[in-house]
Amino acid sequence: MRYCKFLSPAHGRVYAIVEERDGELWAVRPMPAPEEDRAAASSTQIEFEPRPLKELHLLAPVNPSKILCIGRNYRDHAAELGNEVPKEPLLFLKPPSSLLAPGGVIRMPALSKRVDYEGELGIVIGRRCRNLGPDEDLRPYVRGYTIVNDVTARDLQKSDGQWTRGKGFDTFCPVGPIVSDEIDPAGGSPVTLTTRLNGAIQQQGSTSDLIFPIAHLLRYITTAMTLEPGDLIPTGTPAGVGPVNPGDRIQIQIDGLGVLENIFQPS
């Protein structure tokens, strides 16, 4: 199943099933909102004409209680910033207030002299989980996958020591355009991620190169904390991160998930 969330002038926030038509993603019919977003979204009783996603006011298709990120999970990215490869997954949080819709404007804080993009595959949790065992089937706990831009104020990340501020500004977590369970990067079908800055390819990585694969991450995280439905786990970025300038357009593409596109502007 593939779905998106959009803002309808008539119905408010709507979750919709997504299908591909002539190589384009279309929202074709309403679906029930996930349990964690039911209060905010409209019901399935509405009707709308199928429309291409590019004609809709898309919203971030997640409503997480937390955004649990993995740092330095690709060797070549750790190396490009002069960091060691971690011996265990490196966890940090972005606040839900940093979420941004596809097409939204990423605001570059005046406090920072270097804002970077980081294209990442995101896991969306579907069922509460804690202490997942080594032999446990993880598929029932994963609702699907999406695209995340782990936008980073690189200078503040370094100078603060803690990453919370450098990773946590409002608009620093674009997500979307869809969530899909029709790809299986946890199950031996890696996906390719490509990031373009103003049309030029900057990142090209495969989830086959994750240092800590998806199953390992879920087991590791849930030894420390409960994951709730809707929680989002960006799995790390491949090499090729870099700074942006006001007006730059960033596009992150993952096989089967479409393209997450945003523009950078000063705050």
Q: What backbone phi and psi angles, to 5 degrees, belong to 140?
A: -65, -20
Closer to Mg ion at the Cβ: 203 or 222?
203
Closer to Mg ion at the Cβ: 27 or 121?
121
Q: Interface residues for Mg ion in 150-179 (CB under 5 A)?
A: 150
Give 159-221 as a DSSP string.
Answer: HHSSSHHHHHSTT-EEEEEEEESS--GGGT---EEEEEETTEEEEEEEGGGBSS-HHHHHHHH
The DSSP element (H or E) to which 242 belongs, if any, is strand 242-243
| The one among 98, 157, 222, 237 contacting Mg ion by CB under 5 A | 237
Other C-beta atoms lying within 10 Å of the C-beta of residue 55:
10
Beta bridge pairs of residue 194: 204, 253
Closer to Mg ion at the Cβ: 150 or 261?
150
Q: Nearest approach, Cβ of 238 to Mg ion (angstroms)?
A: 10
Stretch that binds Mg ion, among 35-43, 108-116, 130-138, 229-237 (CB under 5 A): 229-237
Binding flag, residue 261, Mg ion (CB under 5 A): no
Q: Nearest approach, Cβ of 70 to Mg ion (angstroms)?
A: 7
Residue nearest to Mg ion (CB): 150
| The one among 37, 118, 231, 261 contacting Mg ion by CB under 5 A | 118
Closer to Mg ion at the Cβ: 72 or 196?
72
Residue identified by tokens 């357009």 is 249
Residue identified by tokens 């390719």 is 192
Give yes or no for a cis peptide into 177 (omega within 30° of 0). Answer: yes
How far, in whole angstroms, is CA 22 from its chain's centroid? Answer: 25
Residues forming the site for Mg ion (CB under 5 A): 118, 150, 237
